Amino acid sequence: MPNSEFSGFAVTPTRFLLSVALPGVVALAPWLLVIVESWPAALKLYSDYPVLTNGVLLSSVIITGSGIEGMGSYIEATWDRMLEEKYEVRDNWFSYLAQRAGDERIGHRYIARLVTALKFELGMFLSAPIFLIGVTSLNFMSDFGFSAFNAATLLLTIFATVLFFKEARDSHRGLCETRRELVSRCDKRETV
């Protein structure tokens, strides 16, 4: 079990609920009501395909919450830059990551978290266009025709694709920088 002093990077149920799931629910809840109020067929879709609909709703909450967490990280990085001169945030951050917590460096868990975020962002970047093709196919198969909902789906998917690409690129850059800094700060005789 990790030392509680260094467990900030562990993906715990509490961390997931507070930083991803709850913000995702708060952000999406009113929009789900808007969909149900403006598109009554949504309730029929839910009753006809409850497992699929629940899966899509859960995925939407996680994706939205992850995006919000990413935006929060951007704000945090902005604050770090603003306080750099006073607190030497960057140097202290990498020095902290180079410290040991038991048999492993704190930075190893952080790097694992960055890799997970990168894989998620790349996966979403690649799955968004596939999603769009599927939604377009469903649109042609149904009697709904092109609607404001379809236009919004198209625009949101394009936005999400661009956003996840940018986030993945930024995560990759952060991962490379963190690895470089950890290697430079750790004793060369040790395996980092």
Residue 92 within a domain: no
Residue 4 within a domain: no
More confident site: 47 or 40 = 47
Q: Is the pLDDT of residue 189 over 60?
A: no
Contacts of 125 (CB under 8 A, 6+ apart): 161, 164, 165, 168
Residue 2 within a domain: no
Quick one: 78 and 108 in the same domain? no
Residue 136 within a domain: yes
Percent share of the chain, pLDDT over 90: 49
Cα gap 102→72, rounded to integer Å: 30
**What is the pLDDT, as a whole number, of residue 149?**
75
Residue range 116-156, pLDDT digits in tens: 989 999 999 999 999 988 888 877 777 666 677 778 888 99
Number of domains comprising the chain: 2
Instruction: Summarize the confidence of residues 14-28 as an average pLDDT.
Output: 91
Cα gap 156→137, rounded to integer Å: 17
Quick one: 81 and 109 in the same domain? no
Residue range 65-114, pLDDT digits in tens: 999 998 988 899 999 999 999 999 999 999 999 988 888 888 988 898 89
What are 28's two structure tokens?
A: 């999406």
Quick one: 115 and 65 in the same domain? no
Q: Is the pLDDT of residue 167 over 50?
A: yes
Quick one: 35 and 109 in the same domain? no
Quick one: 117 and 187 in the same domain? yes
Assessment of whether the complete model's pTM goes beyond 0.75: no
**What is the pLDDT, as a whole number, of residue 85?**
94
Q: Which of 87, 117, 148 is the last residue of a domain?
A: 87
Quick one: 138 and 177 in the same domain? yes
Quick one: 108 and 76 in the same domain? no
Cα gap 21→18, rounded to integer Å: 6
Give the structural domain span for 139: 104-192
